[in-house]
Structure 1
C-alpha cells in the first residue's frame, strides 16, 4: 500500500512527485510485489493536485511538469495492479492519479468530489490528461466536464463512471483489498499484456511529444493572465484557511 502524506492537502510538489515515482519504481522492481493500493493518510483529501505555489512564477515549472509527466507515464503504464482508494476530494492532478489506476473505489461521501477542474483556473488540461479521462468516462462526458472544469461529488462521479465503486468510508480499505485479491487471482502475464495493448497508444503519444508538451505548458503558464489567475486562486485559498 502507498499512502500519500504531505500535509496539508497532498499537493503534487516536485519533491512529492519525485518521491512518488521513485517509490513506484521500487515496487515495480520488487518481484514479490504484484499490486499496490494508493490512498491518502490525510483525512478528507486524496490529493489536491499540482502545487500551485510552484506554478506561480515559472522558475521550477519545467522541472515540475517533467516530473508530472514521469509520474503519469510510470503509473499509467505500470505492470502492477493499481487500485485507487479515494478517501477524500481529488481535484485536477489528484484526479489524474486516480484515473491512471486500474480501478477506483471512492468513499461514499457527497462532500468528497473528484474531477479535472483546470478550466476553473483558466488552465487547459493537456492532451494526455484528456486522453486518460476519455478512456475512463467516454468522449461526451469528458468534453463537458473538461470545458466546465467540473468537480463531481462522489455519487455523481460513480454515476458517470469516473469511479468504479462507492463504499462507506469505514469499508474503503477492506473493499480495496478485496478488489486487489480479485485482480491478482488472474495470471499476471495475460493481464499485463492486455493493459499494455489498451494503453500503449496513449502513452506513446506523450513520449513522442514530451518536450513539446513541456514547452507548451511553460508558454501557457508564463502568461500574465494565467499567473494572475493562479495568484487570485492562492489568495482565495489563504482566506479559506484563515
Structure 2
C-alpha cells in the first residue's frame, strides 16, 4: 500500500503524505511520493497540491531509521539520495505544485515545501524552518540556495546559521510561506491558488514558470548537494551525539 494518497479535484490532484504519525521521510515514503507525482502528471493533472497530516506536514527525515543504519554508508547514502531525488522531482515538476502545510514543517519537511511553487500554511502555533545546525548538521549549499531564493540572502543566513524555526506568522512576514489560513482550509486555499494560476494562458504560464525556476532545479544538482561530503559529516562524533540526543528527546 502506498504511503501517499491521491485525491482528484478536477484538473488538480492532491497528494497527501500518509505515513503515521508524523510523515517522517524514509526511503519508502520518498519513493512513493515520486511515484505518485509521476503518475498524477502522466494521468493529466494540471496542478498538484502536496499535503501532509494535521498538525504535522512532515517532521523531516526519519532520523531513528537513519541512525539504525549504523556504519552502512551505502544504505545511508541511498536513504539520503532518495530524499534529494524527491526534492528534485518536486522542483522539476512540469506542472505547478502547492504545499499545503496544515502543521509543522521542520528540516526535510521545509525542504519539500521550498521546492513547491507556493506555500499555504495553517495559522497558529505551527513552525517551519531548516533547523539542521541544532542537530549538528550543515545544510548543503544547494539546500541553502533554496532558502536564499525565497527569503533573501541575509535573512537566510540568519535563519540557517541559527537553525531557527519560525512560527506561522513569522514565516509569513519573512516570506517563507505565502499565505496563512485556518487549519481546516489549507488544502482548499492551495487549490484556489492553483485554479487562478491554471486560468492563465497555459503555454505562456508554463514556459515562464520553467524559466523562473531554473535556479531551483540547478540548486539540487549533485555538485551543490555534495552528498558524499554530507555523509562524511554525518559520522562526526559531535553530529552523532546531537542526533542521538534528538532521538532521545523524541522518545520522551
The alignment's TM-score, normalised by the length of structure 1, stands at 0.92
1:22 to 31, 35, 40: 35
Q: How does 1:22-41 map to 2 (within 5 A)?
A: 22-30=35-43, 32-40=44-52
Residues 156-179 of structure 1: CA distance to partner in whole angstroms, max 9, x if unpaired?
000101000111123223212211
Structure 1, residues 123-162: CA drift from partner, whole Å, max 9, x if none? 1111111111111111111110000101100010001010
Deviations 1:49-82 (A, max 9, x none): 0110233124221001111121111101111111
Equivalent residue in structure 1 for 2:91, among 71, 76, 92: 76
RMSD of aligned alpha carbons? 1.5
Is residue 48–residue 91 contact of structure 1 (8 Å, CA) maintained in 2? yes
Q: State the alpha-carbon separation in 2 of the partners of residues 188 and 168 from structure 1.
A: 30
Q: Indicate conservation of the 8 Å contact 1:91/1:151, yes or no.
A: yes
Q: Which moved more, 1:67-76 or 1:147-156?
A: 67-76
Cα distance in 2 for residues equivalent to 1:206 and 1:113: 24
Q: Which has the bigger relative contact order, CA under 8 A and spacing at least 6?
A: 1
Aligned residues: 235
CA distance in 2, matches of 1:61, 1:187: 44
3-state SS of 2:137 partner: coil
SS at 1:21's partner residue?
A: helix
Could you say which residue in structure 1 is the equivalent of 2:66?
55
* Structure-1 separation of matches of 2:222 and 2:58: 28
